[in-house]
Amino acid sequence: MKLGSFLAGALVTALLSSGAYAANLSIVSGDTGNGREFLRSQLDRFEKETGNKVQIVAMPANSSDQFGQYRLWLAAGNTDIDVYRTDVIWAPQLAEQFLDLTDAFKDVIGQHFPSVIESQTVDGKLVAMPMYTDAPALYYRKDLLEKYKKPVPKTWDEMAATAKEIQDGERAAGNKGMFGYVFQGNAYEGLTCNALEWIKSSGGGQIIETDGTISINNPDAAAAVDRAKGWIDTISPRGALAYTEEESRGVWQTGNSVFMRNWPYAYALGNGPDSAIKGKFDVAPLPAGKEGASSAAALGGWNIAVSKYSKSPEEAIKLVKFLSAPEQQKERAIALSNLPTIKALYDDKEIIAAQPLISNWKPVFETAVPRPSAPTKVKYNEVSSMFWSAVHDTLSGNGTAAENLELLEAKLAELQGGSW
């Protein structure tokens, strides 16, 4: 053996035994807005601190598209991806493919809201650690509500009436591209969130209740979906039937909508230097079905998990520790207005000053409605896709809500079989 390679071998052995092993890691991440560049900047710091290298495998922002791809990769035992950025609803479906993080995180779990940790715990296994939580807002144009002397709407009908009046007024004044309301109407997970909010806030339940009962086929739910159908081509563009978060934000942030339903990430971007509505908008809780009824926000959020096929599990766990830690969550809150999952950060003065939305949003996220991913376990994605299809059909004019929800109930019962 040549001296050079002997020395190199000895160095590797020494580094390995000292724990200073540098790995080439990869993380898959589908981000919205400037999330990817932001993640890169945090990873650069992680690389400097640990000597590891981390490559981002970029994915589309659409949660359903990511899920489809990840499920295939994981089923095939893909060793190329070490760390997955995961949606809050995926834990029960992907639990088997991720490492149990309980031991590695036992000292820091208590910093986070217990409900968030619970949502990522499946049969006692902690399958992912949170990066941020999510609960949507009604974004509204302060300047336009003032101009038309309208209050911030409290009910969906009030929202639609105000949206129509201002949209028509602005169009008559020359802004032909103005709309009243933009939301996420594409056939994907985002529509499940929107429709759950319309239904829950109208007394129509939450699709499948926490005890597993299928409750979706009821008149309040049908009326809520029919009401939303009435928005298409009156206050919302027909194109909204293909919108995800980013398309809605595009219309809103160029100044072409009075209202928007979106997650907190759109707050920092809306106040960014290139935004046409910087300083002209604010946020409120989503409207409710009736005056005095409670509004409902779907609970969202993103986490990070380590693949059980990773060849560098220890270094991958270090990366999860880094990205879920208070410093990184704080930086994320300030730069991207993402809601932290660490309780103490809601009292952080720098966060409060930079992104006032965040401290105001604590009660909204604490009372947010979970999608039925816990009761339906490994079948959640099918449940959700049947639900969003029934809603999308109704919004597109293929059948009434009552017809489509009755059909949906039968399909869900068949999918449930003996038990979820």
| Interaction site with ligand GLC (CB under 6 A) | 63, 87-88, 134, 189-190, 193, 245, 263, 300-302
Compute the distance between CA of residue 378 and CA of residue 92 in angstroms, rounded to an integer.
6
CB of 87 to ligand GLC, least distance (A): 5
Shortest separation between residue 192's beta carbon and ligand GLC, angstroms: 7
Instruction: Name all contacts of 11-20 with Cβ < 8 Å and 24+ positions apart.
Output: 20/51
Write the Ramachandran bin of 175: left for phi over 0, alpha for psi from -120 to 50, otherwise beta: beta
Nearer to ligand GLC, 190 or 205 (CB): 190
What is the greatest pairwise CA distance in the chain? Answer: 84
Helix/strand/coil for 273: coil
By beta carbon distance, the residue nearest ligand GLC is 300
Beta-sheet pairing, 125-126 with 137-141:
unpaired
Q: Which of residues 89 and 214 has its CB atom nearest to ligand GLC in the complex?
A: 89
* Beta carbon nearer to ligand GLC, 104 or 323: 323
Which residue's CB is nearer to ligand GLC, number 245 or number 282? 245
Distance (Å, rounded) from C-alpha 309 to C-alpha 56? 17
List the beta strands (DSSP E) in 30-176: 53-58, 83-87, 121-122, 125-126, 129-134, 137-141
In the complex, minimum distance from the CB of residue 31 to ligand GLC, in angstroms, rounded to a whole number:
9
Rank residues 202 and 248 by Cβ distance to ligand GLC and give the closer one.
248
User: In angstroms, what is the minimal distance from the CB of 88 to ligand GLC?
Assistant: 5
Judged by beta carbon, residue 88 or residue 144, the one nearer ligand GLC is 88
Strand residue runs (E) in 263-322: 281-284, 300-306
d(CA 229, CA 412): 23
User: Smallest distance from the beta carbon of 63 to ligand GLC, in angstroms?
Assistant: 4
- Minimum CB separation from ligand GLC for residue 298, in Å? 7
**What are the two backbone dihedrals, phi and then psi, of residue 234, each rounded to the nearest 5 degrees?**
-110, -55
